Amino acid sequence: MDIGIDLLAILFCVGFVPSFIDAIAGGGGLITIPALLMTGMPPAMALGTNK
């Protein structure tokens, strides 16, 4: 899996924003899991990474 700088920037934003939302109200996984799946990550790995 070749990760470019643009994908790394997107994943950083997708990691930072849901963490902020999750700290305030919960539910950050609703943003994080679909973003991980869109990068081509297998579903089992995306769910395991989220926890």
| 19-47 pLDDT, tens digit each | 888 889 888 888 889 988 988 889 999 89
Phi, psi of 39, deg, nearest 5:
-80, -5
**Residue 44 confidence (pLDDT):** 94
Distance CA 32, CA 48 (A): 12
pLDDT of residue 42: 93
How many structural domains compose the chain? Answer: 1
Task: Round to whole Å and give the CA distance between 47 and 5.
Answer: 24
Domain encompassing residue 37: 5-50
pTM of the model: 0.70
Give residue 10's pLDDT.
85
Structure tokens at 23: 């700290």
What Rg do the C-alpha atoms of the chain give, in angstroms? Answer: 11
Amino acid letter at 46? A
